[in-house]
Structure 1
């Protein structure tokens, strides 16, 4: 077992690094005797002023550069001026600030009590897991413990530091409701500044209740906590802490207090639910797909292309039952699709033999349709409506990822419940205006914080839909003889219209990912309300090949040959008539210059992610009323 690194031992090493008894400090043969005259002094001695210059000159090799104490340089100079008063007890009394950073200190022992006049102690970036206040001097005013391993504040209950004005506990694994019990005036009666940044506190109302008991609190840092993702942050603290001057390093103005006046008194606010809005604007840089023919003969299958943006986002854990139901339905649907695939293998190819679909396939398709209908109530439920509010999950029946996925993209140990969402589908254009947004309500703020720190992955996907003529087996069944006689005349009248209308059967859409991009969302955790990014997904190359168009209409080979002969004869005549003018025209007019291929544009998407914040009490009241009305209406319907 590795021995603990004790704080007092580290401080002793730093004191010894001052070399208070070595040249040019302390007593020694290098010091001149002030009682002797200048003529009697030896050449190997130095006057007091010269020794002090060696300590303070910027080019001197004896200048001390250590920053572990504000009194270190003064103590060395004092060892030259008054070497007789230099003792261990004097050194412990003289030092009033200590800075031990990144020294892997794990234990705070009783040796710290020897610094009886210590006022400032900085112990950042160490391995401290407990705070034994009984080992701290009573004179301490500043205690900084940033980036340690403190997971509980139980140690503060044994002893108090009545003069402490600043307490820094940022970057520690704190965040339990029990920890907030020790943030009160009974433990810190004169605390002016409190740093609880980058911890795990989730409840905004509980935090307000705790810090409101500190009568002298003027500066509070909560940046990086899950509670900062709440819409009521920071307005609730502005109203609940009227004497607060600084919040997360930003000045709290009287206007901030005025706008949030009365927010803390509102009842029934959803303080621990974050609302995140993901918006997509425009897709650019997609190569133009083949264009469907608008006239003449049509070659089947018909293929249409559309484009959309997909991404994975968190789901509320309260909707786990809905997700489980969706997962079971997706498994049933997957088995049906597997059954459909096995039937299609026996018949060679379903796409090539649509005219002879077997009865077994028809039953499988009916079963698949029933499964899809069973899935609709889950999506239309109140939980499902909240889950898909403003967004639609992608309909990729082959992939179970469209229903429920867990885990992070980079393969880390963090696993969260996520779903795949998609924007609206848009046909191809040079600039496809999506103008789509989706709202996500997340109640687990700790998971949301981790998710935002990892960032958001988006994909631009191509939706390919293949259409075939409807087969005879998909037309209505044979009618009876009476029905045939009665409808014979009507069929003759509508015969021409039916011939011009062709029923098409669409296959399940096939999706292809054109590009992916990562969106950094750390600024949302750092205090910003919105992140807007133009994502560059690289250049997309077209995968299809342009083929020469086939013969259209009723023109035969002979008619085409005749047209070609006529065209050649007309060209010959025109060439003979304009032969004399050819040189003149060529000399007078310059040849047209080929501009060459246009520059290839990268695939880009405009995306913005906004974290809802209540900037005033009126907005909080209106939002709360709208949310309550929506939930009531959903449960009623």
Structure 2
């Protein structure tokens, strides 16, 4: 693209640029010194013997190497291996026009070219405007201007014979200029634009012949308005509205099927007779058609959380709880009738992460509080994962519709203690949202689940601590005096029930410590393509530090340890012999591990981490949709 085209070109200028690539007046097309002259052709006709098919047989002596035959020029133009081959996919007539420029170059005139084209596909050509010069293409019936930068389409500049108009992937927001006496279109494609209103634009008066309408991924938010507007189109048989905010409404498909009796295909799915019967008379109950999306979240359990190894003594205790957090777009409308059961309002208090793993709460004062009293902590700022943030996992290639990212809220599951096999959360949450447009944009991101560990450390007051020690001392004296089997059994049972008998009412709890055990992601983009259920088992590899390897490491080499080991070797002949055999074995292994160059290999990497079974979290998210008129009336309480 040249510098002059950086700001965009008109549709006819883009057409002329593609036409120049055909080279209709350059080799091997058009007139030139490369073509056989007429005198030579007449001489060949009189001196050659014609074959049964009428093709002249010319010997090498009769052929002039300075000229090319028409058959050879056609091969140069059509063979993909030829250096003069050019791509002609932008029009069905481009390749044929090039052959005409070889066979009959005298026909190639500006008027002939404009009248010859019937199809034109100019994708990603930086077109910003459909100009009046496009009317020169009088016989044009198919025009595709996808993936350009068009904002407004003036219907007066469209050729009168146009039947198919494809404008997907542009910046169109208003359909009013397009709907002023447009040509009798059969197919209109407006997917991936920013159309928010179609009322008074897509009616039978403007589009009496329209059969197919594609409005995929626009900004339509009012289902009743869309249905009642499209109802006026008498011949509409195929409709695509997926990706619009209205597609998230439970009554979306049923209302449109019942509202458009002529429609045969909705969102590339054929409408069945059963659907017609199930959704019958739904369009009459417009009072139940609300622009509200309902999402049901269910997390039954989590497997594979490592053993927390809680520590407890006679005067201190440590407890660890686990819960799940999910950031979701916040409800912003004031007239919302529903609220989340476990919604946590946004606050200015945030918790800073330590190496993105440990998180400390904002409460720093110690006091007597139960382990379950500290909940609903907002661990990170919601702006970090809002729509439009480049760091967030956004799968959409489209820019965000909103100029400013919407606020988010925290959804949090109940807390549970660690369990060996799995933690049964059984977390159910029903999310309702009235702000459909930000919700649609938010679903292009991956939902981020965080499994968080809350560690509570507590200790007894000084007075209780002294009493515990005193009681412990008495117990020791009694055990020394009475060493019977029954007392030993009682001692074991006391050790097992030690945690249960700990005086929890007297514990002074310190500030809780938070750690993110795992971060899992789930894509909900399929909701924008017609799916209603996403159910997956999210996995995450977990590594835990092996404390046994720490215990098995030899003690530090201090002078006292060296003296003790030497004394033991002198006194114990068996240990002396064992040490000698170990030294021999180590010497042999060192010799065997040397490489061919005579160099000792590098020592193996000491890894103290243990690979545990992967952490698994089962998630089921359902977008509510009605399958019948009975379900619609039941869900609305009618």
Scaled by the length of structure 1, the TM-score of the pair is: 0.69
Give secondary structure in 1 for the equivalent of 2:129: coil
1:394–1:421 contact (8 Å) kept in structure 2: no
Seen in structure 2, the aligned counterparts of structure 1 residues 393 and 106 have a Cα distance that, compared at 3 Å, is farther
Determine the structure 2 residue equivalent to 1:461. 452
Q: Which of the residues 222, 243, 257 maps onto 1:224?
A: 243
2:543–2:609 contact (8 Å) kept in structure 1: no
Q: Which of the residues 420, 426, 436 maps onto 1:435?
A: 426
Q: Tell whether 2:13 aligns with 1:12.
A: no
- In the TM superposition, 1:325-344 aligns within 5 A as none
C-alpha deviations, 1:453-486, integer Å up to 9, x for none?
A: 122111111133345558989xxxxxxxxxxxxx
**Structure 1 residue 525: Cα displacement:** 1.7
1:310–1:460 contact (8 Å) kept in structure 2: yes
Determine the structure 2 residue equivalent to 1:165. 186
- Greater CA deviation, 204-213 or 32-41? 32-41
Q: Distance in 2 between matches of 1:214 and 1:155?
A: 19
- In the TM superposition, 1:92-491 aligns within 5 A as 92-162=114-184, 164-175=185-196, 177=197, 179-290=198-309, 299-318=314-333, 350=366, 395-396=375-376, 399=378, 407=386, 414-429=404-419, 430-469=421-460
**Structure 1 residue 437: Cα displacement:** 1.4
Determine the structure 1 residue equivalent to 2:514. 511
Determine the structure 2 residue equivalent to 1:560. none
Q: Tell whether 2:11 aligns with 1:31.
A: no
Give secondary structure in 1 for the equivalent of 2:306: coil
Q: Distance in 2 between matches of 1:328 and 1:219?
A: 44
Q: Distance in 2 between matches of 1:172 and 1:133?
A: 18
Q: Distance in 1 between matches of 2:322 and 2:426?
A: 13
Seen in structure 2, the aligned counterparts of structure 1 residues 189 and 105 have a Cα distance that, compared at 3 Å, is same
Seen in structure 2, the aligned counterparts of structure 1 residues 328 and 317 have a Cα distance that, compared at 3 Å, is closer
1:393–1:419 contact (8 Å) kept in structure 2: no
**Structure 1 residue 142: Cα displacement:** 0.7
Determine the structure 2 residue equivalent to 1:21. 25
Seen in structure 2, the aligned counterparts of structure 1 residues 505 and 100 have a Cα distance that, compared at 3 Å, is farther
2:297–2:619 contact (8 Å) kept in structure 1: yes
**Structure 1 residue 252: Cα displacement:** 2.1
Unpaired runs of 5+ residues, structure 2, are 49-61, 350-360, 393-402, 465-500, 552-607
Q: Distance in 1 between matches of 2:347 and 2:121?
A: 61
**Structure 1 residue 60: Cα displacement:** 3.7
Seen in structure 2, the aligned counterparts of structure 1 residues 547 and 68 have a Cα distance that, compared at 3 Å, is closer
Seen in structure 2, the aligned counterparts of structure 1 residues 190 and 312 have a Cα distance that, compared at 3 Å, is same
1:517–1:536 contact (8 Å) kept in structure 2: yes
**Structure 1 residue 9: Cα displacement:** 1.7
Give secondary structure in 2 for the equivalent of 1:215: coil
Q: Which of the residues 591, 598, 622 maps onto 1:610?
A: 622
Seen in structure 2, the aligned counterparts of structure 1 residues 505 and 130 have a Cα distance that, compared at 3 Å, is farther
Seen in structure 2, the aligned counterparts of structure 1 residues 405 and 419 have a Cα distance that, compared at 3 Å, is farther
C-alpha deviations, 1:419-465, integer Å up to 9, x for none?
A: 21222322212222222211111111111112211221111111333
Seen in structure 2, the aligned counterparts of structure 1 residues 52 and 32 have a Cα distance that, compared at 3 Å, is farther
**Structure 1 residue 229: Cα displacement:** 0.7
C-alpha deviations, 1:470-524, integer Å up to 9, x for none?
A: 8989xxxxxxxxxxxxxxxxxxxxxxxxxx8945246375432212122222112
Determine the structure 2 residue equivalent to 1:72. 94
| Greater share of helix | 1
C-alpha deviations, 1:580-616, integer Å up to 9, x for none?
A: xxxxxxxxxxxxxxxx998512322111221111111
- Greater CA deviation, 504-513 or 416-425? 504-513
Q: Distance in 2 between matches of 1:291 and 1:207?
A: 59
**Structure 1 residue 159: Cα displacement:** 3.2
Q: Distance in 2 between matches of 1:417 and 1:428?
A: 33
Q: Distance in 2 between matches of 1:518 and 1:13?
A: 46
Aligned length: 495
Q: Distance in 1 between matches of 2:173 and 2:44?
A: 65
